[in-house]
Amino acid sequence: MSIPHGGRSSRLDQGETDGERGGEHQMMIGSLPLHLSPHLLGGFLCPVCSKFVASDVMEIHLIMCLTKSRLRYNEDVLVKDSGECAICLDEMEQGHTISRLPCLCIYHKGCIDEWFEVNRSCPEHPLD
């Protein structure tokens, strides 16, 4: 594969990796240089939802994240084993108290309560 890089070909010779070429570090297509952080790009990672947010809307975004109500869920006791909890990765077994979210995902009640202390959405459907 040949892609122009600084006026010369960046074809990789046999034995070279995608990340190196003759001792030089090559940036992968679509990646950012490692020394650039979100702060240098004019934004931040939201400490509530972990999304990248432009610095000019960070305050509004934080207020929205902190005031957004958490999902409501139904509490139930399992009558049969039901696979793995995606939060703690332990099995959800008969007799465990679980929470069923509106998206129909189920988790141990204690796991989702802890999750909601930091996050405001389903662990498996964060954009819902």
What kind of fold does domain 74-118 have according to CATH? Herpes Virus-1 (3.30.40)
- What is the spatial distance between Cα 7 and Cα 80, in angstroms, rounded to a whole number? 65
The whole-number pLDDT of residue 70 equals: 63
- Extents of the domains making up the chain: 34-68, 74-118
The string of pLDDT tens digits covering residues 25-81 is 554 444 555 444 555 567 777 777 777 888 888 888 888 777 776 667 889 999 999
Q: Rounded to the nearest 5°, which phi and psi values hold at 123?
A: -60, -30
Q: What is the pTM of this model?
A: 0.49
- What is the spatial distance between Cα 100 and Cα 109, in angstroms, rounded to a whole number? 9
The string of pLDDT tens digits covering residues 72-115 is 788 999 999 989 999 999 999 999 999 999 889 999 999 999 98
